[in-house]
Amino acid sequence: MKTIEELLESKNIRVTAMRLLIYKFLVEKDVAVTLSDIENAFEKSDRTTLYRTIKTFEEKGIVHQIDDGTGITKYALCEKGCNCEIENDLHLHFHCNNCNETVCLTAHKIPQIKVPDGFVAENVNLVVKGICDKCSGH
């Protein structure tokens, strides 16, 4: 099991105390978080630093963005070995209409998406909406 430091370094991210804290925060949450969730958790920190940290994580493939249709961008940790590639790594997301949480369904990959010639797919967002397992009581 790699330490967080090693994991960040393997992605060419310079390890800072702030980056470690935010990474740990994301690990502890098992749902996708918004930038304001992070800001609320790190009230004393500079918002720009928090924003830059999450952007760095996104660029380096530590987290991926989720657009769950609520109008607020959410972020979740990538799986080990994820390169955020459309063909291999993108998975379904589930948005619960009851508790409003969004989770990664990493075992459910997005089926191959074919676009017409001349179109270039850069990102695919597939969000299933409904009631999550916690809310459905199963």
Which residues participate in the annotated binding site for Zn(2+)? 96, 99, 132, 135
The answer to whether the CB of 73 falls within 8 A of the CB of 67 is yes
Report if residue 135 touches Zn ion, rule: CB under 5 A: yes
| Local structure of 66: helix, strand or coil | strand
Q: Measured from the CB of residue 70, what is the shortest distance to Zn ion in angstroms?
A: 13
Report if residue 62 touches Zn ion, rule: CB under 5 A: no
Q: Which of 13, 22, 33, 96 binds Zn ion (CB under 5 A)?
A: 96
Report if residue 99 touches Zn ion, rule: CB under 5 A: yes
Phi, psi (rounded to 5 degrees) for 83: -115, 10
Report if residue 64 touches Zn ion, rule: CB under 5 A: yes
Q: Which of 78, 90, 94, 95 binds Zn ion (CB under 5 A)?
A: 78
Report if residue 16 touches Zn ion, rule: CB under 5 A: no
Nearest to 29, CA basis, from 84, 75, 70, 61 = 75
Widest Cα–Cα separation across the chain? 50
